[in-house]
């Protein structure tokens, strides 16, 4: 195997695949994709439900179908892929140390690196849910792997904590495969999942969704035997006297995703505490020249279609970096104002030209509100929303013309209309 | 009579209000596109869903599958029983029909490539 | 018939078992759970105490100081990680500073070396995140950290490598003493015979004593809840930070673990019945105290919370003696803190003096005290790694991504002494599943490895023994 590549892409999921294709199509052919699993596609392989690709392909695909479209493109271009290979270390100098069974441990030198490692689920442990620690407690994604990839049913009577999309999807999957889902509990007063998933995954099967509720105790010595669910107040504290008991053998946690940035950290790349991903320019370049990040390792997306879109930006930029080298930048920072939890990119290079789409999330549910981007006291972009929720990523477009006229920091904020 | 639905056609999840007079649809408002209108029409008369699941291959692996058209929501569990009984021979390619006419003319097709 | 039967696969029983194999003795360990190190030795603070805390001339004081001195040697031989990170007992008032002076004097009387009372300034230099309210501390450089289950598993594994027998799922329900020996029966109807019985049954040691006809041992349980933080925050503190002890006990501590996590806890709750549930109040108390000790503890990096039960005797001291009423029955009971530290010294004393008092001890020249740790690959050089992968490609496959544990290490843990039989057993030995994703990614794969190695179906693979099966059926 070669020891030098123009571009090394870490991760062969949707982000890595799209980045590879975009890099190739922008003039760099010497690309290596590193994937730890046996096959390409990442988490899409276990997302066998439909609904992927509506934005990009105008049709409703299953996860494996969506992945296959990109895998086909990668194969057509004969881009080199190394599966069952885990990256152990990444340096600021773009040395990638990997391990696999066939070649052992070795280091590859890249001119450019694209980080596309995806994210992981928050676990039960991270929430300090009280009670026992028996068998039958799974993150929704682990249960999904057991059901969809291995063909096993992790449990028969299920309570789900968290109404993220994976949890909702698993409520339906477990029900169809023969389990009884007793309840989905959500600590927030709103669901972080898509509305259509509440309709088709819960309502279709008569599964109750308890908003402003959480699991306050898990019971069972060897296997889960039940949970206590309590209503919470506005500070998310359980209210005494509101306890409900469910006899169940399984608890699934769908309580958020965290970008997997251990390698990013190892390379000393600046991370944002808000996104828990790298701080990037609009071309998805990190503070380290030639290292790019895209997909859920950068920010947790709602839809894979947006992951692909972002990965194409990063892949193209990686190719440009390899062909043209580092650029002299003129930097404007982008920051969060009122009611915005994060905004990405965090930095805009004015010299790059072109338009920039800002991605961000709001901190709460707002009705009839206006989202604005301001710079130097002037509104440079705005959008009215009938409803804005944290579960849906928002965008604002800054045109090339707008960007040419500003010199100060850009602030994105949301105000409720009078 | 009015029925309020959440459209499942795309991630927007439009809230659609259907006004009925008996079995007759009087008006549909709130849909963002034509697919939403069609969804609402079906939903108040005969709700349909695409069913996704897996089938077992002869070597024990699982092949992801879906119905290639929406099937009656009320028949989902019967359809699941049919899906669970399917055993397929590998290789299978995306789009291969694994069970013809599983319900009302819809076929069960593979959604993953398995060698 | 065995020469010696040890009841209880905790750190005390485990180190005694290993000590016994240094002699020509036929020995066996009985453990009621499906794996060893399932009681207090699974869930405690992992502190090697310096020895300033115990009442002078007590068993606790004596074995603590001796055990502390022995820790390098025993952990070195067994390949168990151990580090003298130093302990700090932190004072928050002038009154507590006075208590520190008493502690120092007591420690010196116990034979603890290097004790020093340090100023607020020096404390802040040593611990950058210490609370602004902290006024000073007692510094004990001989204090250390060790992983309690790693030590226990290694000790029992090494004893087995040297010929000891292990019986898991052997819950002793009946003990009969006849002319020649003890006959022990299990809840599953098995019997086993031995000349000497060592009662190291932790929380059950009062019950075991009673079964043998000695009603003089009274044992209670005290529950402690803990919170564990990600290795990412591992440099939050470097020493073990204690509050100044009060009449109510030592209180909670903030410490690095030997694996580089941060551990907060334990609470102390008296228990009638053993249980290891965590509670909202308990965890809130741990958080409150951690916030008092340190500025902004990185609780956002919490990866799990857990609880353990420490057994303590009504006498307030370790009971390490031959039964006064049943000859040949040796008690190691009420081994609460600093039991982990004391365990190597207790083991030596029990074997050389108590067992040696009834049986002739002949040195086993073939005894090999060395053991390769269950996980080791990550710390090797690239050349060493490649040499191993060339021999066994399973070491080239990372299974646990958070802790970078290879398939080779997991297979080895399933095959080595004492064999891991379930998910938690693999986890305790290899750390796979112990990282930030808590097994979310690797558990299905590890379950398959266990099923394959043990020749069972995936449906039979458990988290922690019978009744804790991972899955409840096949879907098609």
pLDDT at site C273: 66
Give the domain ranges of chain C.
82-142+220-309, 377-460
CB B100 within 8 A of CB B88: no
Chain A residue nearest residue C466, CA to CA? A222
Cα–Cα distance list, B39 to A197, A199, B12, B20, B30 (Å): 15, 13, 14, 15, 12
Identify the closest residue of chain A to C298 by CA–CA distance. Answer: A126
- Taking the Cβ of residue A408 and every Cβ of chain B, the question of whether any pair is shorter than 8 Å is answered with no
Residues of C with Cβ-Cβ distance to A258 under 8 angstroms? 436
Do A17 and A104 lie in one domain? The reply is yes
A57 has a chain B CB within 8 A of its CB? no
Q: Which residue of chain B is at minimal alpha-carbon distance from C475?
A: B84
Enclosing domain of residue A394: 328-418
Helix (H) or strand (E) holding A359: strand A356-362
Please tell me the predicted confidence (pLDDT) of residue A418. 82
Residues A366-396: pLDDT tens digits?
A: 999 999 999 999 999 999 998 898 888 999 9
Q: Does A150 touch chain C (CB under 8 A)?
A: yes
Q: Residue A367 maps to which CATH number? A: 2.60.40
Q: Which residue of C has its CA nearest to B60?
A: C476
**Which of A13, A117, A133, A273 to probe the C interface (max C CBs under 10 A)?**
A133
Query: How much is the pLDDT for C30?
Result: 98
Does B3 contact A at CB distance below 8 Å?
no
| Chain C environment of B54 (Cβ under 8 Å) | 475-476
Cβ–Cβ of B62/A45 closer than 8 Å? no
Q: Examine the domain organization and report whether A244 and A140 are in the same domain.
A: yes
Record: contact C385-A105, CB cut-off 8 A = yes
Q: What is the ipTM of this complex?
A: 0.94
Judge if A76 and A200 occupy the same domain: no
Q: Which residues of C are catalytic?
A: 49
Q: A48 and A81 in one domain?
A: yes
Q: Is the pLDDT of residue B115 over 80?
A: yes
A178: domain CATH number is 3.50.50.60
Inter-chain contact B62–A149, Cβ cutoff 8 Å? yes
Give chain C positions within 8 Å (CB) of A135.
462-464, 468-470
Confidence at B23, pLDDT banded by 50, 70, 90: confident
For residue A178, the chain C residues in CB contact (below 8 A) are: 473, 475
Residue among A125, A153, A222 minimizing CB distance to C304? A125
**What is the DSSP secondary structure assignment for residue A390, as one 8-state letter?**
T
Could you tell me if A105 lies within 8 Å of chain C, comparing CB atoms?
yes
Nearest-CB residue to A62 (from B5, B52, B77): B52
pTM of the predicted protein model: 0.94
CA dist., res. C55 & res. C52, Å (int): 8
Q: What is the CATH number of domain C377-460?
A: 1.10.10.1100
CATH superfamily, domain at B52-110: CPE0013-like (3.10.530.10)
**pLDDT value at residue A46:** 97
pLDDT score for C274: 59
End-to-end CA distance of chain C: 50
Sign of CA dihedral C205, C206, C207, C208: positive
Picking from C448, C457, C458, C476 by the largest number of B CB atoms within 10 A of its own CB, the best residue to mutate is C476
**What is the full DSSP assignment across B88-110?**
EPSPB-TT-EEEEEEETTEEEEE
Residue from C227, C235, C398 to probe the interface with A (highest A Cβ count within 10 Å): C398
Query: Helical H runs in A82-205?
Result: 140-144, 165-176, 195-197
Q: Does the beta-carbon distance from A141 to C440 stay under 8 Å?
A: yes
pLDDT reported for residue C318: 98
| Partner residues linked to A356 by β-bridges | A398
Cβ atoms of residues C421 and C34 within 8 Å: yes
- The answer for C132, left when phi > 0, alpha when psi is -120 to 50, beta otherwise, is alpha
Distance of alpha carbon C76 from alpha carbon C53, whole angstroms: 26
A204-216 pLDDT, tens digit each: 999 999 999 999 9
Same domain assignment for residues A188 and A175: yes
| Band of residue B10 on the pLDDT scale cut at 50, 70, 90 | confident
Residues of C with CB under 8 A from a CB of B: 475-476
* From B10, B53, B73, residue closest to A204, measured CB to CB: B73
List the single residue in C276, C280, C389 with the smallest CB-CB distance to A132. Answer: C276
pLDDT tens digit sequence for B41-58? 999 999 999 999 999 999
Ramachandran area for residue C473 (φ above 0: left; ψ -120 to 50: alpha; else beta):
left
Q: How many CB pairs lie under 8 A apart between chains A and B?
A: 78
Say yes or no for a CB contact (<8 Å) between C471 and A146. Answer: yes
- Kindly give the residue spans of alpha helices, DSSP state H, lying in C315-437: 339-349, 382-391, 407-415, 423-430
Looking at the structure, do residues A285 and A338 belong to the same domain, yes or no? no
Question: Inter-chain contact B94–A64, Cβ cutoff 8 Å?
Answer: yes
Answer yes or no: CATH 3.40.50.720 is held by domain C82-142+220-309.
no
What are the pLDDT tens digits along chain C (476 aa)? 999 999 999 999 999 999 999 999 999 999 999 999 999 999 999 999 999 999 999 999 999 999 999 999 999 999 999 999 999 999 999 999 999 999 999 999 999 999 999 999 999 999 999 999 999 999 999 999 999 999 999 999 999 999 999 999 999 999 999 989 999 999 999 999 999 999 999 999 999 999 999 999 999 999 999 999 999 999 999 999 999 998 767 789 999 999 999 999 999 988 776 589 999 999 999 999 999 999 999 999 999 999 999 999 999 999 999 999 999 999 999 999 999 999 999 999 999 999 999 999 999 999 999 999 888 899 999 999 999 999 999 999 999 999 999 999 999 999 999 999 999 999 999 999 998 889 999 999 999 999 999 999 999 999 999 999 999 999 88
Against chain B, the chains showing at least 3 CB pairs within 8 Å are A, C
Same domain, A177 and A246: yes
Query: Cα(A283)–Cα(C438) distance, rounded to whole angstroms?
Result: 34
- C250-301 pLDDT, tens per residue? 789 999 999 999 999 999 988 776 589 999 999 999 999 999 999 999 999 9
CA dihedral A133, A139, A140, A141 (to 10 degrees): -140
Give the closest of C279, C280, C396 to A104, CB-based: C396
- Residue A151 and residue C385: Cβ atoms within 8 Å? no
**Which residues does chain A have within 8 Å of residue C265's beta carbon, measured at their own beta carbons?**
none
Please indicate if any CB of chain C lies within 8 Å of the CB of A220. no
Q: Are A357 and A323 in contact (CB under 8 A)?
A: no
- In angstroms, rounded to a whole number, what is the distance separating the alpha carbons of residues C397 and A267? 23
pLDDT of residue A192: 83
Q: Tell me, what's the pLDDT at A321?
A: 98
Task: Quote the Cα angle for C194-C197-C198, to 5°.
Answer: 145
Q: Does the distance separating the beta carbons of A128 and C278 come in below 8 Å?
A: yes
Domain count, chain A: 3
Which residue out of C472, C474, C476 would a mutagenesis test of the A interface target, given it has the greatest number of A Cβ atoms within 10 Å?
C472
CB-CB contact of A72 with A17 (8 Å): no
For chain A, 418 residues long, the average pLDDT of each consecutive 10-residue run is: 95 98 98 97 97 94 98 98 98 98 98 98 90 96 96 97 95 97 95 90 97 97 97 96 98 95 97 96 97 98 96 98 93 97 96 94 93 95 91 92 92 94
Q: How far is it, in rounded angstroms, from Cα C45 to Cα C310?
A: 11
Give per-residue pLDDT as tens, A206-250: 999 999 999 999 999 999 999 999 999 999 999 999 999 999 999
């Amino acid at each position: 195997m070669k020891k030098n590549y123009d571009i090394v892409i870490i991760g062969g999921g949707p982000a890595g695949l799209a980045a590879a294709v975009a890099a190739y199509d922008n003039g760099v052919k010497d690309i290596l994709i590193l994937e730890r699993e046996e096959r390409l596609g990442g988490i899409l392989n276990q997302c066998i439900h439909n609904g992927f690709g509506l934005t990009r392909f105008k049709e409703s695909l299953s996860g494996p179908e969506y992945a296959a479209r990109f895998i086909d493109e990668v194969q057509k271009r004969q881009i080199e892929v190394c599966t069952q290979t885990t990256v152990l270390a990444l340096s600021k100098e773009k040395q990638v140390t990997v391990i696999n069974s066939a070649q052992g441990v070795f280091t590859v030198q890249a001119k450019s690196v694209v980080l596309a490692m995806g994210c992981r689920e928050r676990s039960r442990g991270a929430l300090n849910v009280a009670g026992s620690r028996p068998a039958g407690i799974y993150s929704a994604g682990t249960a999904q792997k057991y059901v969809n990839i291995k063909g096993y049913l992790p449990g028969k009577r299920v309570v789900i904590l968290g109404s993220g999309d994976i949890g909702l999807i698993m409520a339906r999957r477990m029900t169809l495969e023969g389990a009884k889902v007793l309840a989905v509990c959500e600590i927030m007063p709103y669901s972080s999942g898509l509305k259509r998933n509440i309709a088709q995954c819960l309502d279709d099967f008569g599964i109750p969704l308890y908003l402003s509720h959480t699991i306050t105790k898990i019971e069972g010595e060897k296997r889960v035997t039940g949970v206590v669910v309590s209503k919470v107040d506005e500070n998310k504290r359980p209210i005494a006297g509101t306890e409900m008991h469910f006899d169940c053998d399984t608890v699934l946690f769908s309580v958020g995703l965290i970008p997997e940035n251990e390698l990013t950290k190892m390379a000393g790349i600046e991370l944002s505490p808000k996104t828990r991903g790298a701080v990037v320019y609009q071309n998805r370049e990190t503070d380290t020249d030639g290292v790019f990040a895209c997909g859920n390792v950068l920010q947790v997306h709602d839809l894979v279609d947006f992951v692909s879109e972002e990965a194409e930006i990063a892949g193209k930029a990686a190719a440009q970096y390899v062909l043209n080298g580092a650029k002299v930048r003129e930097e404007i920072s982008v920051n969060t104002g009122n009611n915005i939890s994060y905004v990405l990119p965090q930095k805009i290079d004015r010299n790059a030209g072109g338009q920039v789409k800002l991605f961000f999330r709001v901190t709460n549910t707002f009705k009839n509100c206006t989202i604005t981007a301001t710079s130097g006291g002037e509104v440079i972009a705005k959008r009215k929303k009938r409803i804005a929720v944290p579960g849906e990523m928002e965008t604002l477009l800054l045109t090339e013309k707008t960007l040419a006229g500003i010199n100060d920091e850009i602030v994105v904020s949301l105000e409720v209309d009078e | 009579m009015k029925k309020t639905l959440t459209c499942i056609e795309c991630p927007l999840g439009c809230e659609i209000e259907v006004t009925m007079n008996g079995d007759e649809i009087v008006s549909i408002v709130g849909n963002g596109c034509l697919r939403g209108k069609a969804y609402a029409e079906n939903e108040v008369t005969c709700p349909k869903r695409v069913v996704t699941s897996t089938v077992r291959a002869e070597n024990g692996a699982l092949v992801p599958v879906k119905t290639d058209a929406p099937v009656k929501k009320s028949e989902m569990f019967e359809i699941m029983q049919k899906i669970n009984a399917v055993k397929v021979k590998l290789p299978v390619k995306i789009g291969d029909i694994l069970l013809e006419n599983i319900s009302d003319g819809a076929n069960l097709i593979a959604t993953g490539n398995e060698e | 018939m065995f020469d010696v039967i040890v009841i209880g696969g905790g750190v005390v029983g485990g180190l005694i078992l290993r000590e016994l194999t240094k002699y020509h003795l036929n020995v066996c360990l009985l453990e009621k759970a499906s794996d060893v190190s399932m009681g207090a030795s699974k869930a405690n603070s992992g502190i090697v105490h310096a020895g300033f805390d115990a009442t002078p001339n007590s068993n606790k004081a004596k074995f603590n100081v001796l055990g502390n001195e022995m820790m390098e040697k025993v952990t070195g031989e067994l390949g168990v990680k151990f580090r003298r990170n130093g302990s700090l007992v932190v004072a928050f008032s002038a009154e507590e500073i006075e208590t520190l002076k008493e502690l120092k004097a007591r420690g010196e009387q116990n034979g603890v070396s290097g004790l020093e009372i340090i100023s607020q300034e020096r404390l802040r230099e040593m611990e950058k995140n210490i609370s602004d309210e902290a006024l000073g501390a007692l510094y004990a450089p001989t204090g250390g950290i060790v992983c309690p289950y790693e030590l226990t598993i290694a000790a029992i594994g090494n004893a087995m490598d040297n010929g000891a027998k292990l019986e898991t799922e052997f819950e002793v329900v009946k003990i009969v003493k006849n002319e020649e020996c003890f006959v022990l029966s299990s809840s599953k109807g098995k019997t086993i015979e031995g000349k000497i019985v060592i009662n190291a049954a932790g929380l059950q040691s009062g019950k075991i004593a009673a079964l043998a006809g000695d009603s003089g041992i009274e044992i209670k349980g005290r529950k402690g809840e803990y919170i564990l933080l990600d290795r990412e925050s591992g440099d939050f503190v470097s020493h073990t930070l204690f509050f100044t002890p009060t009449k109510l006990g030592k209180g909670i501590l903030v410490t690095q673990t030997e694996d580089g996590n941060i551990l907060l806890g334990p609470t102390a709750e008296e228990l009638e019945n053993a249980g290891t549930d965590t509670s909202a109040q308990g965890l809130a108390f741990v958080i409150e105290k951690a916030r008092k000790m340190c500025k902004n503890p990185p609780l956002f990096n919490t990866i799990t919370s857990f609880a353990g039960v420490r057994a303590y005797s009504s006498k307030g001291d370790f009971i390490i003696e031959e039964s006064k009423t049943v000859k040949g029955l040796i008690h190691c009971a009420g081994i609460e803190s600093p039991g982990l530290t004391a365990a190597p010294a207790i083991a030596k004393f029990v074997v050389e003096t108590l067992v040696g008092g009834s049986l002739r001890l002949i040195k086993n020249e073939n005894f090999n005290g060395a053991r390769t740790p269950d996980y080791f690959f990550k710390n090797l050089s690239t050349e060493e790694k490649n040499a191993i992968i060339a021999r066994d490609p399973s070491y080239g496959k990372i299974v646990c991504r958070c802790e970078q544990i290879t398939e080779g290490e997991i297979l080895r843990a399933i095959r080595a002494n004492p064999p891991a039989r379930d998910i938690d057993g693999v986890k305790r030995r290899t750390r796979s599943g112990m990282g930030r994703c808590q097994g979310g990614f690797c558990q299905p794969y590890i379950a398959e490895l266990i099923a394959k190695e043990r020749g069972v179906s995936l449906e039979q693979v458990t988290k922690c023994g019978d009744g804790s099966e991972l899955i409840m059926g096949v879907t098609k």
